[in-house]
Chains A and B, each alone.
Chain A
């Protein structure tokens, strides 16, 4: 594995930076077209209702209205998973949650579109609803969809229970028998929203001939293309999707919500259609993550060795079948080397918006339960929480709780760094508690395409297919520069549209720097091979006698020929005469992404009279394999930690008895603001991933996993009472005190 880097580990400016600090960068809602219409969506005011009829005639008659659609305008599709996505975009037959789309209009102005919505008459028959996961699992609960109950599930759970998973090994009963202390606890966590600041937005233009253009804010424009092509029954080749700059996603933009609607309105009206969600719509109808109800039981010896561990996870994922609890069940005990372990999970439907991924989906709440119980055991047995975790920590060769045997991993290094950090030994003030927790995420590889052109002036253009959600164009340019041996500033990386470069999986799973990085290195190697070939031709020596060193071709030794190195720029300059343009490309599906562990340390102060919690100090340790651009790696760690802090303290979807969402706005859905926080101190640990030529691991998701438990453990220690539910809002803490 390469170790001596010239570019990796430096902190150059990102290529899209200037446009973003000057307001020039174009996000989803920033593009317009000549003759464009404005669309709006009518949404269900009920948690669950049969749609008896929709009368759109008055809306259609309003001057300026060019198209009105309902669920009837969408023909059925083959895949049931695509059907769920389609029916989430536009209800067919029943409205399944507060905010579910039931009709849409396109009109000459926003004002006319809004007026038209008021004229659509929907006749609803209200049906019983359920929004709580435990209630939804009870036999007799209102069932969202019949016939989708998970395989092998019995009569003890309702038809809302769409999946069951279990993982683990050993004999947990035997393990609990060997324990000196066993603690079993129940936890609840609220649904949270990804909370990206940019609402979903798109500009669609689809002709009657099935040729279309779509501009949208997404984590994956190929995913958008394929879903929309399937839903609209058009050819993928005919729909060109361009990813706008994306104003945050965190998993929430890994599906479609509005794009098929805008395309359908455009197809009917024959005009470009712009559709932008309001913030209220974002909360009511775009992907929150799951809420959960969790039981964790862990046995430990007096010395702190875990003898057995068992978790039961019940996740609520909204109004359609989904598969996500397995990610939590696999993550729950991943940090520990356990002989006897079992984790079980149930996916459950309710009358809430369809869940979608949120940064390490499924893991934070599972790990919250586990790390809470471990912390309580440490307190009860008088053990140091880091030493205890070190005693049980997973390391190279550990058979993980979800099956695979770990390769080189950095959990022990992260725990040791935490133990040695001044934060861990700093004195604590009154009413303050120090919490610690580990976290884990798998990280993925997946399909990727990169195309690289060497220009005659010695510069390089690179096209890749993954929307840049947090600076990846910079890290990809850096890896290209490192591989080619030229300066970072000589490379321009852009995110191509679906017609300009091959398929790429969604920007998710902390995969982009890893997977696009590998493809970039391979594309560079292909270009290098061609450049060596050109040099060999010029020198009239054998191609194999040329090697690439520091951005130049050179003979492999004196025997090969005595020529001074020929730089990339020189080879490029003559390329027109030596065989034409030089390029490199790579399409592949790299795997071996390499898991990542983090350890978070937090000091929280609780006001004993009000229950107000403030974060006084926060240090986050994470193994990232190799930090390409350390500033953006730090940013991922800091951002993930703060999202986790929000989840721990204040963020929650609040439903009333009526099944309606009570807080669809940033006023009462309380994400952390600048004044809520101290600096977040990131500590980068680099245990190289053997599966990547530069040692890269994904780093984006792990950081949201530990903070829920770290903050809860800190609060519990500060107030001397255990907390068992998130968010730990002030009324809840005060009640516990």
Chain B
């Protein structure tokens, strides 16, 4: 295995193209664990952290662009991010321990392809877009279009994700992410739910996105659940309908972290709770 610090994004793309089984390396909290546990090591690790702009959080068109090597800890300390997309920030901050937060990145969390990745439901709910540099140049994709299956993304071999864009949001909007783990920390999500919504002046939900994690081969948007919230003030009937739609959207697996039945039940509970938090963050009162 070789290790190379990429000088710039283009350099990284060409290194990717030239290697057999390369891995991009920013926080390393997934790559190094896989190597330790005996996975086939990559022939080349390409370190993105020293590329200009990769570690920046910067305002753009009313939204925020987060560079690929920005760590969870840095996101947690970003007042502008916390103010605009608190649900995304809290999702990223839930990944791993304080030590992992010092290294792990949101882009890495996305590109690792885990169905249980905490940040991905929040990114889906936020309608975030991913900026990709590849052999044919730069393109932007919605987060949903990057997801393919467990451990898989739709990215091409020489593609690198350089940043994620969190769009501007209207007034009276809020988002939230909740996950369930057996302990209070240090676990992988058994199920997760993210809600982003905006309200009218009377507190009625104008628009909503609902996304779930760890209950299907990838994190998924649940339009039916969003529809259940729209037009409501999160009355019990609306929340019940949202929860039901979330349960219906589940196609989880039984494994050492949870059963099908348990994950399905959790999806509804978490969505309901996250919806309430997002609603209050948007200025609504329950």
Contact = CB atoms under 8 A, between A and B. Distances in A.
Q: Are chains A and B touching in the complex at the 8 Å CB cutoff?
A: yes
Interface of A: 280, 609-612, 614, 649-650, 654, 662-663, 665-668, 670, 672-673, 675-676, 729-731, 734-735
Interface stretch (B53-61, B147-155, B177-185, B277-285): B177-185
Contact of A673 (B186, B190, B262): B186
Nearest to A656: B256
Contacts of B180: 610, 612, 730
Given A610-B269, A730-B262, A734-B262, A663 B183 contact: no
B271 to A, nearest CB: 12
B257 interface: yes
B182 A730 contact: yes
22 contacts: A609-B269, A610-B180, A611-B262, A612-B180, A614-B184, A650-B182, A650-B183, A662-B256, A663-B256, A665-B37, A670-B182, A672-B183, A673-B183, A673-B184, A673-B185, A675-B184, A676-B183, A676-B184, A676-B185, A730-B182, A734-B265, A735-B261
Main secondary structure of the interface of B (DSSP, over half): loop
Contacts of B257: 668
Contacts of B183: 650, 670, 672-673, 675-676
A730 B259 CA distance: 10
B142 to A, nearest CB: 31
B201 interface: no
Contacts of B269: 609-610
A347 B257 CA distance: 30
Nearest to B266: A610
Interface in B180-202: 180, 182-188, 190
Main secondary structure of the interface of A (DSSP, over half): loop
Contacts of A734: 262, 265
A731 B187 contact: no
A735 B257 CA distance: 15
B167 interface: no
Contacts of A663: 256
Contacts of B262: 611, 730-731, 734-735
B258 interface: yes
Contacts of A665: 37
B188 A667 contact: yes
A94 B265 CA distance: 44
Nearest to B257: A668
A654 B187 CA distance: 16
B182 A675 contact: no
Nearest to A668: B256
A663 B257 CA distance: 10
A80 B136 CA distance: 69
A675 B187 contact: no
Contacts of A667: 186-188
A466 to B, nearest CB: 33
A730 B180 CA distance: 10
A734 B180 CA distance: 13
Contacts of A650: 182-183
A328 B188 CA distance: 35
A610 B259 CA distance: 13
Contacts of B37: 280, 665
B212 to A, nearest CB: 15
Contacts of A668: 188, 256-257
A611 B262 CA distance: 10
Contacts of B266: 610
Interface string B72-88: 00000000000000000
B256 A654 contact: yes
A675 B265 contact: no
Nearest to B36: A278
Contact of B185 (A610, A675, A729, A735): A675
A610 B180 CA distance: 8
A611 B182 CA distance: 9
B114 to A, nearest CB: 12
B94 to A, nearest CB: 12
Contacts of A729: 182
Top 5 A-B residue pairs of the complex, sorted by shortest distance between their CB atoms: A731-B262, A675-B184, A609-B269, A662-B256, A654-B256
Contacts of A649: 182
Interface in B205-262: 255-259, 261-262
A731 B185 contact: no
A672 B182 CA distance: 10
Given A666-B186, A670-B186, A731-B258, 8 more contacts: A280-B37, A612-B182, A614-B184, A654-B256, A668-B188, A730-B180, A730-B182, A731-B262
A612 B258 CA distance: 13
Contacts of A675: 183-185
B254 to A, nearest CB: 10
A126 to B, nearest CB: 21
A673 B187 CA distance: 10
Contacts of A654: 256
A610 B262 CA distance: 8
A650 B182 CA distance: 7
A665 B256 CA distance: 12
A44 to B, nearest CB: 15
B31 to A, nearest CB: 16
Contacts of B184: 614, 673, 675-676
Contacts of A676: 183-185
A22 B183 CA distance: 30
Nearest to A729: B182
B137 to A, nearest CB: 39
A614 B183 CA distance: 9
B205 to A, nearest CB: 22
B270 to A, nearest CB: 8
B266 to A, nearest CB: 6
